[in-house]
Homo-oligomer: A and B are copies of this chain.
Amino acid sequence: MDEIRQALGAPLSRESGESLSDQIVRAVAARIDDRHLRSGARMPSIRQFAKAHGVSAFTVVNSYDRLVAMGYLESRRGAGFFVRERAPLAPQRQPAEASVAGRPLDVVWLIRNLFRQAPPQFSPGSGVLPAEWLDGPAVSNALRAIGRQNSHGLLAYGTPAGFLPLRQQLQRKLAELEIAAEPDQIVTTVGVTQAVDLVARELCQNGDAVFVDDPGWFLMFGSLSMQGLKVIGIPRLADGPDIAQLAALAAQHKPRLCIITSVLHNPSSTSLSAAKAFQVLRLAQEHGFAIVEDDIYCDLHPGAPTQPVTRLAALDQLQQVIYLGGFSKSMSANLRVGFIATSRERAQRLTDRKMLSTLTTSELTERVVYKILSEGVYRKHADRLRARLDAARPKALREIEAAGLHVPTAPPAGLFVWADAGRDTNVLAERAMAEGILLAPGSLFSPSQLPSTFMRLNIAALGEPTVWRFLQRELAR
């Protein structure tokens, strides 16, 4: 019976708002994509499946039929249902190169897995907080409240630059970070991902060099590389970029843009020191490149009174620095609300570009974020989130070390730990995947994609004993 339950991965819920059949289809499809269920594997019979999951045979028949229609299963007459042979999802791993520009991206495979709803307890490689750490009721309450208001505002296109009350709220949020930005300097986007896409399209042309943190946020490498840009990694140290390397590479490549996460860098959760921040800005001025400061983890940082923090935009006041923020990590990734803060003139040009890419963003989701921000609910939620992460971090670090991993820089805040496994984490991640565990190997976080002994672990997704057993066993080999 256990084996049959495994066909599904997670228990069915009658309260999720999703039909049982939808849940079965989604879960089985995910397990096939994730290779938990292998090509050719026989599915439980209708009767067995129905009994194991407490659903009607009708529901199972309907779900299996849909999975056949979607190409996941095939029905063999008299023999039952089998997982169908599928074309591989992504090209084979390519040999490492200095730049990812122009070639198929390996990261796509991991991204597909990371952004599917896998059970969080088996996803220590995940980049987000589990749903139960977030403030679901705040989102639901905001939706019901907006659903009771006059509906006219929910029908027309929103304002091109974004919902004005939200931009005014963001002005206040930025002021607290010592960044002065009027509402007409702020443009909302479909998450930070669209912000990076728009800024790079505005400032760069095909073949231009763009600097990123190495290690850094891999989706961004893909996005820049898709635009035909030369993505060049700047070694990231515990207190920020390697300045000597940054200077040398800037002289060599004349980049248009340097993208940096100054606060709680992904994957290491370390932050930029004041001295490094100043040096980065000087180099930007000397070599004439713009800086994109990606501050998506802003609200996971306790703030200057508790831990030192320096933002590039606070020093430079949006002259050479373009500041990006959003709420996918700390409120809801689903809403897709991010923003750009920059000079008035550049904000106008980015708004025009946004119109040509997605016309406007959804004002509905921006109203939800505005409501949660403006009513003070969010501030309390962020406080709780940080307290919970702070409570989980020491235990996680102890267990990581006990499992045989080494953490060179233990972060004092944030979601991630960048840990050294002492062996190729690509191999480790492949073995983990075979056991239904999602790891994030270090190779993905470098534009070179070279094999790495590091991997990223999510402090909020380390509770499952199976994961520790796997790591201990593998690292003891």
- Evaluate contact between B151 and A137: CB separation under 8 angstroms: yes
Is A295 close to B, CB under 8 A?
no
Is A11 close to B, CB under 8 A?
no
User: Which parts of A193-237 form the interface with B (CB within 8 Å)?
Assistant: 193-194, 197, 201, 206, 219, 222-223, 226, 228
Is A261 close to B, CB under 8 A?
no
Q: Which residues of B contact A150 (CB under 8 A)?
A: 13, 15-17, 136
Tell me the minimal C-beta distance from A183 to chain B in angstroms: 6
Is A40 close to B, CB under 8 A?
no
User: Which parts of A33-80 form the interface with B (CB within 8 Å)?
Assistant: 66, 69-71
Tell me the minimal C-beta distance from A9 to chain B in angstroms: 15
- Evaluate contact between B226 and A359: CB separation under 8 angstroms: no
The interface stretch among A111-119, A306-314, A416-424 is: A111-119
Is A22 close to B, CB under 8 A?
yes
> How many copies of the polypeptide does the oligomer hold?
2
Is A402 close to B, CB under 8 A?
no
**Cα distance A13–B151 when bound, in Å?**
13
Give the bracket for the number of chain A residues in contact with chain B. 35 or more
Tell me the minimal C-beta distance from A130 to chain B in angstroms: 9
Q: Which residues of B contact A153 (CB under 8 A)?
A: 16-18, 334
**Cα distance A89–B25 when bound, in Å?**
50
**Cα distance A431–B359 when bound, in Å?**
27
- Evaluate contact between B336 and A71: CB separation under 8 angstroms: no
- Evaluate contact between A219 and B356: CB separation under 8 angstroms: yes
Tell me the minimal C-beta distance from A94 to chain B in angstroms: 15
Q: Which residues of B contact A131 (CB under 8 A)?
A: 151-152, 155-156
> Beyond A26-B164, A70-B183, A164-B22, is A223–B357 a contact (Cβ under 8 Å)?
yes
**Which of these, B15, B144, B158, contacts A144 with CB under 8 Å?**
B144
Is A143 close to B, CB under 8 A?
yes
- Evaluate contact between B359 and A182: CB separation under 8 angstroms: no
Further pairs besides A89-B348, A144-B147: 11, Cβ < 8 Å: A17-B146, A19-B165, A71-B184, A117-B156, A131-B152, A140-B149, A142-B147, A144-B148, A193-B357, A336-B359, A336-B360
- Which 6 pairs show the lowest CB-CB distances between chains A and B? A136-B151, A17-B149, A143-B147, A144-B147, A190-B358, A131-B152
Give residues in A with beta carbon < 8 Å to B. Answer: 13, 15-19, 22, 25-26, 66, 69-71, 89, 105, 108, 111-112, 115-117, 128, 131-132, 134, 136-137, 139-144, 146-160, 164-165, 168, 182-184, 190-191, 193-194, 197, 201, 206, 219, 222-223, 226, 228, 328, 332-336, 344, 348, 352-353, 355-365, 368
* 18 A–B contacts, CB within 8 A, in A order: A16-B153, A17-B149, A70-B182, A112-B352, A112-B355, A115-B157, A131-B155, A131-B156, A136-B155, A144-B148, A147-B147, A155-B334, A157-B328, A328-B359, A335-B364, A362-B365, A364-B364, A364-B368
